[in-house]
Every structure is written in C-alpha cells, then in structure tokens.
Structure 1
Amino acid sequence: MTNSWRERLLSLRQELLDLEAAAREGRGAVELDQSRVGRLSRMDALQGQAMNQAIGARRQQMLVRLDAALARLDDGEFGYCQECGDIIAERRLEIDPTTLFCTRCQSERA
C-alpha cells in the first residue's frame, strides 16, 4: 500500500511540476505588441498575468502539501490524523492524499 501511495503522490507532484514549467511564460512581463493577432489590450494581458500568478501560487502550495505527505509516508505517519492519531479513511485519502485530518477532526476544525 505504501508504494502505491508513493507512486500516486510522486505522479501528482510531477504533473504539477510539468504544469508549472508550461505556465512560466504566462506569468512573465506583459508587453504591448500591437502587431499580434487579436491585439489583446494591456488590461486583458495584465489580468491574464495576474490569474496565471495566482494559479502558480496555488500550485506551489500544493507542491508543499505533496512534499509534506511524502515526508509523512517516509516517517510512517501517512494516513493518520494529525489531531487524534486515528486512521484517515481510505476514501478521504483517495480524494485528497495530502489531507492531515480525519473527517471528525476536520469537521471540528471548521
């Protein structure tokens, strides 16, 4: 079971890294190029840049969570609630393998 979770976490991590590499261009400096097809306005370009930066920030947060989950896997703590120590339901981990809390503890935190 540990190997399958490791494979899944590493696969998700690589997918995010690939997306991050592909998205770097969209977060670069905005240039106003009147000769481009479609002639995007500077405001549209700035809005697109801001959205790409926000997506990149969320992607980085997820990478941190995936690295933490891999560390918990190495420490033998993966799949255990960080609050009460109970086992986190497999279905919950399938939905979000980076989750830290069981359903009960998560609902108490909300």
Structure 2
Amino acid sequence: MPTLLPDPVRATEVGQQLARREAELRSLLQACTLGAMQGADEREVGDFKDMAVAETQAVVDEAQAAQVVAELQRLQAARGRLAEGSYGFCQECGEAIDPRRLSALPTATHCASCQQWLERRAARTH
C-alpha cells in the first residue's frame, strides 16, 4: 500500500504533531494520577455531602483518565501506521482518508463514509 504522505517533510510534521499531543496527554494523565493520590491523602471524614462530592469527583477523574489512556493508545497506533507507511488510509475500504479529516482528527482510522457506516451499524446493535 503506498503511503499517503510521500513528502518526508509532511510525514515529519504529522509525526511531530502526534508526538506533541502524546506529550500533552501524558502530562495530563500524570496530573490526574497525582491529583487522585493527593486527594486520597487529604480526605477527611466529613458529612455525607462532602463524601458524595468526593466520590463524584473521583468518578469524573477516573473517567477523564480512561479517556486520556484511550487517546494515548490511538496516538501510538497512528504513529505506528505512520512509521509503516499505512497512515492516512481507511482500515475498512483501503481508500485514502481526506486530509481535512486527518487534520481535524490525526488518529482517524476510517474515511468519513466508512466511519458513518460503522456508527450506523453500532447504533443498530444497541
């Protein structure tokens, strides 16, 4: 499969963009982890409202960390596709993904048509 990014300069730019976002996410994940650890250490027994707020914040923090981890995984996969030369091609139909879509969502694995089809299929099964 030919690479969508034959220009080494463009491939380098995409790689740098992915690496920057990965560094941002790693920092965010570290902050979430440190915040959760500090929050656990600083919790005092209070009334039920305080406990409910603390539990709610812990759930939100956990959900945010899970989203960060998922995006990190998508970024690492995109960097792998970039290295092997398959970045920018739909994993469903094999066609090139629109560069505007890749610009907006650098980790995209499907063209817009296949993504819509996959989402419709998933909605029908739920």
Contact 1:2–1:73 under 8 Å retained in 2: yes
Give the structure 2 partner of residue 64 of structure 1: 73
Identity %: 31
**Pairing partner for 1:32 from 31, 34, 44:** 44
Give the structure 2 partner of residue 46 of structure 1: 55
- Greater CA drift, 21-30 or 55-64: 21-30
- Say if 1:19 and 1:65 are closer, same or farther in 2 by CA, change over 3 A: same
Contact 1:27–1:52 under 8 Å retained in 2: yes
TM-score in terms of structure 1 length: 0.88
- CA-based RMSD of the aligned residues comes to 1.6
**Aligned amino acid, residue 110 of structure 2:** F
Give the structure 2 partner of residue 20 of structure 1: 29
Measured after TM superposition, the shift of residue 107 of structure 1 is 1.5
**Pairing partner for 1:98 from 103, 107, 115:** 107
Runs of 4+ in 1 over 4 A off after TM superposition: none
Measured after TM superposition, the shift of residue 33 of structure 1 is 5.6
The structure richer in helix per residue is 2
Gapped regions of structure 1 (runs ≥ 5):
35-39
Distance 1:41 1:109 in 2: 43
Distance 1:20 1:98 in 2: 19
**Aligned amino acid, residue 78 of structure 2:** A
Give the structure 1 partner of residue 6 of structure 2: none
Number of corresponding residues: 105
**Aligned amino acid, residue 52 of structure 1:** D
**Pairing partner for 1:88 from 87, 97, 105:** 97
TM-score in terms of structure 2 length: 0.77
Gapped regions of structure 2 (runs ≥ 5):
1-9, 120-126
Give the structure 1 partner of residue 14 of structure 2: 5
Question: RCO greater where, 1 or 2, for CA within 8 Å and sep 6 or more?
Answer: 2
